[in-house]
Structure 1
Amino acid sequence: MNRRSGSGAVSSPRTGIIGGGAAGLATAILLAREGHSVDLFEKNSELGGRIGVFESEGFRFDTGPSWYLMPEVFEHFFALAGTSAEAELDLRMLDPGYTVFSPPGPVDESTGAPGRTRELTIPQGRSRVRAIFESVERGTGGSLDDYLVSAEHTKELALAHFLYNPFTSPRSLLHRDILSGLPKLVRLMGTSLAGFAESSFNDPVLRQILQYPAIFLGTDPRRAPAIYHLMSTLDLAQGVSYPMGGFHTIIDALVQLAERSGVRLHTGADVTHIDTGPVGRGRTRRRVTGLNWTDEDGRAHTHSADVVVSAADLHHTETKLLSPEDQSFPERSWTSVTSGPGAVLVFLGIEGELEALPHHSLFFTEDWAANFDAIFGSRQKIPSPASIYVCRPSATDPTVAPPGHENLFLLIPVPADAGLGAGGDDGGGDPRIETAADRAIDQIARWADIPDLRRRIRVRRTQGPTDFAEGFNSWLGGMLGPAHTLRQSAMFRWQNASKTVDGLFYAGATTTPGVGVPMCLISAELVLKRLRGDSSPGPLPIPAP
């Protein structure tokens, strides 16, 4: 896309990007390399969005994603940007990948000794994972092989035909691989992830291991279509990596690439409105003309643009930044949308070592259904006990905590409800948030046999759904965005271009292809495809150097 000046000379399209998270930065990089004149506007004082970071008393905490999965997506994006993941990141493969902790058994009545916690460690390497499954439930090694072969095939099909597909041409779905696999795809879309896992495995913990990736997708495994069993090939077959220095090093790499590409980055720049005008005389359709924003001092500014890409929350973009006549998804349309979960995040600086915890731990409650009912059901509440994710990056990275100390990140999935409250420092958050944090700390201490965990806390900060709503304009205070139910996935999800405004595009977790850092990178490529008029379903070819 080029724009002609009054003299007839071709000039670069003026492009404004709203939001400086992974999707906004990635889109800015690709469009700048495409020849656009790009300005990016981030309302917060730091770039990164949900991939945040803060430091306190020698501890450095990532405040967002912590699982590095789908490395081929990162590698492809960096190649499009003229570099590589190897050049930009220092990645370490984790072994073990993670440990699952289950509730302690009953107290021994004869001795009074507390019941032991069941721990199941998932190593790195498919053959070793197979051996673990076989040791837990005899005969499941072959079942796991079949499950992972299906997961790998489905992942490759998704990468080639769905995740990078802008869905602008029906012909993109007529490939022989899709048509030949249609009966299986229909079965997978008509079966829940929970049902699919339970059909092959009886042990409750093995079932949980195959179902928990639904949380990465922001949904209940009983409502996620079984096509998402592809997620199991990511952690059980490919393995889990970690970028040394923390996840914010991904943002650091994107910022440097954006600057090298000529992107102008504006922080403390809160976009308040997307401006539009009519397309030609007498026509009802509108097109983007620019955006309005305020700086940190409250001064108002106008930025003219031929293209605007909002990588902000889609609900916020549609209902707050656009005039009613320009909205493709007005407020009334959101009543039927299923949100992903909210979260209580807890950041702990711990004195002394915590060898009982690996880099990643999952604390799964026994009553799995009750946990998801509390988060997604009709009578929502903070689960108690809760299934908890714990990250101990200091197990791998000595730079994130002072010597002899540990860094812990706790994630407690809760309902997406901004009214639940905000977090704070040293127990100073809203009562419901701090109570959830206290319960989680005590649960980890009991299940992992760390009885003095609470006494060893030197730094404590919490974050709740209100923080997500205020910090990221997140719809309902959700952690991830709309859930990946069947009707909110792939071609049924919100697409990357406005239905009513020419020149307005969307990127990020709340649009296609969905939640997670890899999906945010792909969404940037989908915007580029739409601007090019490219309807191809797979990744773009890498330009020759």
Structure 2
Amino acid sequence: MKKSVSIIGSGFSSLAASCYLAKDGFDVTIFEKNSTIGGRARQLKKEGFTFDIGPTWYWMPDVFDRFFADFDTSPSDFYKLEKLNPAYSVYFGKEDYITIEDTLEKICIAFENEEPGSSIKLKKFIATAKSNYDIAIKDLVYNPGESPLELVTLKTATKLNQFFSNIKRDVRKSFKNKRLSQILEFPVLFLGAKPSNTPSFYSFMNYADFGIGTFHPKGGMYQVILAMEKLAKSLGVTIKTNASVEKILVHNGTASKILSNGKIFESDIILSGADYHHSETLLDEEYRQYSESYWEKKTFAPSSLLFYVGFDKKLINVNHHTLFFDVDFDVHAEAIYDNPKWPDEPLFYASFPSITDDNAAPTGKEAGIFLIPLAPGLEDTKELREHYFNIIIKRFERLTSQKVEKNIIFKESFCVNDFIKDYNSYKGNAYGMANTLLQTAFLRPKLKSKKVKNLFFTGQLTVPGPGVPPSLISGKLVAELINKQFSRKTTSLKASIL
């Protein structure tokens, strides 16, 4: 008889785990509290416009390829992928920006134009980043974070010093130009920590950026969710939406049931892909691994104030992805990590998917997504949201030399309170727990409960960390742990019978 698995949540990690477990012969049911699947990667449709509510960057395509290849498929079986050129642009002042194109050779030219001689340093820096990428993404991140010995290999032995330096120190040692330094420090923000708190080894993100490039799935990132849903259902996974889980029930030290919408569902294994902190609150206190003080001491990735804006005209002087670094990067970072507060002068990011994708907006119109990174746990009010929208839209107009405020058809916002309400996110964080030195690999919250049998976790707060590709990997890792445990039990049972 098949072993049953109940999965809480339907984000990238949960969907990935469901596919692997169903393939391995488990009877899998997903319980999603919202009306649509995808977790933080949901979609907003309004007046002919389509927005990705959550992730908008498609990096590390090899991780997606590897996931789908595990099921004898490929991304191209489900969605069309386009490499962006330019990948993105970075504004530093009025009509003053640097464009990052689609090959390292072109990026070297941009660096050389900014600082003569910098292209030589860049090639050396990216060569190290590629070496780190080959070790990390092809090897290390596919370990379950159970032991420090996972980090000890012949390859990592040559990289040990990089775990005790940081990205900011390495970048600024080689690049004296502040603008170039900020561009090189930007990718690690996806890992949820300041460059000064991110180990040098994570420069592999720079190879993902400059060496591999930035892609866009036609129809948006939600197409990846739909692809995974189709795959999961083809493997026999059942998905229940509007199915909030109120309790994980433990009997004789074993997770055996969940309470969803007032009804009890029995299961051999419980796997939560929901926020880890929230998942543990579904347990009686005696069964929780981590105290409130544990979570309080951890470094969390930022929250975000997001705006989804429909414009009645096409915009100029912007690319699909556009960053606005015209204010002090370090001061804003302090407002996120060191002295949590609303930033006086926020950096922000904007995405205009309709530049690339006709599906994102009606003809002649533009879809815009604006994001301000924030400290989690901040006060979130309608008045604050409006105040900050006015700040960034006026700066946007000045920097890009165009008037857009009167061309806004509508705007929707999403912030701390929404992350808590929609995703049960700890303090309204947007990206999970940061990958600092003391929150890497085996030092992150565990995939498998230490206190409750048959209870597992997956997602951005556990191994390997924040981001879409790591979430896919997290789903694979936890599925392997579950399969290993129950395959061993089956083998032991057969041996005892014989």
TM class, shorter-length? over 0.9
The verdict on how the C-alpha distance between 1:25 and 1:224 changes in structure 2, with shifts beyond 3 A counting, is same
Q: 1:385 maps to what in 2?
A: 345
**Aligned AA (1:472):** Y
Q: 2:257 maps to what in 1?
A: 290
Within 5 Å, give how 1:506-521 maps onto structure 2.
Answer: 506-521=457-472
User: Is residue 21–residue 483 contact of structure 2 (8 Å, CA) maintained in 1?
Assistant: no
User: Is residue 313–residue 510 contact of structure 1 (8 Å, CA) maintained in 2?
Assistant: yes
String of CA shifts for 1:27-68, please: whole Å, max 9, x gaps.
111101110001100001110111111111111111111110
Shift of 1:171: 5.2
Shift of 1:532: 3.4
What is the DSSP-based 3-state SS (H/G/I as helix, E as strand, rest coil) of the residue aligned with 1:308?
strand
Within 5 Å, give how 1:268-417 maps onto structure 2.
Answer: 268-278=242-252, 286-294=253-261, 300-318=262-280, 320-378=281-339, 380-417=340-377
User: Is residue 313–residue 365 contact of structure 2 (8 Å, CA) maintained in 1?
Assistant: yes
Q: 1:110 maps to what in 2?
A: none
Q: 2:406 maps to what in 1?
A: 455
Shift of 1:289: 0.8
String of CA shifts for 1:217-246, please: whole Å, max 9, x gaps.
111112111211110111111110000011
Q: 1:243 maps to what in 2?
A: 217
Q: 2:106 maps to what in 1?
A: 128
Q: Which runs of 5+ in 1 are unaligned?
A: 1-10, 105-116, 279-285, 295-299, 422-429, 535-545
User: Is residue 147–residue 442 contact of structure 2 (8 Å, CA) maintained in 1?
Assistant: no
2:145 to 138, 146, 167: 167
Q: 1:59 maps to what in 2?
A: 49
Shift of 1:395: 0.7
**Aligned AA (2:247):** H
Shift of 1:420: 2.1
Within 5 Å, give how 1:20-59 maps onto structure 2.
Answer: 20-59=10-49
Q: Which has the larger radius of gyration?
A: 1
What is the DSSP-based 3-state SS (H/G/I as helix, E as strand, rest coil) of the residue aligned with 1:54?
strand
Q: 1:103 maps to what in 2?
A: 93
Cα RMSD after superposing both structures: 1.4
1:198 aligns with 2:172: yes
Shift of 1:186: 2.8
User: Is residue 344–residue 463 contact of structure 1 (8 Å, CA) maintained in 2?
Assistant: yes
User: Is residue 365–residue 386 contact of structure 1 (8 Å, CA) maintained in 2?
Assistant: no
1:148 to 110, 113, 126: 126
Identity of aligned residues (%): 32
1:446 aligns with 2:398: yes
Shift of 1:136: 0.8
**Aligned AA (1:287):** T
Q: 1:468 maps to what in 2?
A: 419
Q: 2:228 maps to what in 1?
A: 254
1:528 aligns with 2:479: yes
1:477 aligns with 2:428: yes
Q: Name whichever structure is richer in helix by fraction.
A: 2
Within 5 Å, give how 1:400-439 maps onto structure 2.
Answer: 400-417=360-377, 419-421=379-381, 430-439=382-391
The verdict on how the C-alpha distance between 1:93 and 1:43 changes in structure 2, with shifts beyond 3 A counting, is same
User: Is residue 342–residue 465 contact of structure 1 (8 Å, CA) maintained in 2?
Assistant: yes
Number of residue pairs aligned between Structure 1 and Structure 2: 485
User: Is residue 437–residue 462 contact of structure 1 (8 Å, CA) maintained in 2?
Assistant: no
String of CA shifts for 1:77-129, please: whole Å, max 9, x gaps.
1111331112112000000111110134xxxxxxxxxxxx3111011111111
Q: 1:186 maps to what in 2?
A: 160
Deviates more, 1:235-244 or 1:155-164: 155-164
What is the DSSP-based 3-state SS (H/G/I as helix, E as strand, rest coil) of the residue aligned with 2:174?
coil
User: Is residue 146–residue 446 contact of structure 2 (8 Å, CA) maintained in 1?
Assistant: no
What is the DSSP-based 3-state SS (H/G/I as helix, E as strand, rest coil) of the residue aligned with 2:464?
coil
The verdict on how the C-alpha distance between 1:480 and 1:198 changes in structure 2, with shifts beyond 3 A counting, is same
String of CA shifts for 1:163-204, please: whole Å, max 9, x gaps.
11013456544432223x1xxx33211112111110110111
What is the DSSP-based 3-state SS (H/G/I as helix, E as strand, rest coil) of the residue aligned with 1:101?
strand
For 1:414 and 1:158, locate their aligned partners in 2 and report how far apart those are by CA, in whole Å.
28
For 2:303 and 2:251, locate their aligned partners in 1 and report how far apart those are by CA, in whole Å.
37
Deviates more, 1:216-225 or 1:465-474: 216-225
Q: Which runs of 5+ in 2 are unaligned?
A: 486-498
The verdict on how the C-alpha distance between 1:52 and 1:32 changes in structure 2, with shifts beyond 3 A counting, is same
Within 5 Å, give how 1:83-122 maps onto structure 2.
Answer: 83-104=73-94, 117-122=95-100
**Aligned AA (2:199):** P
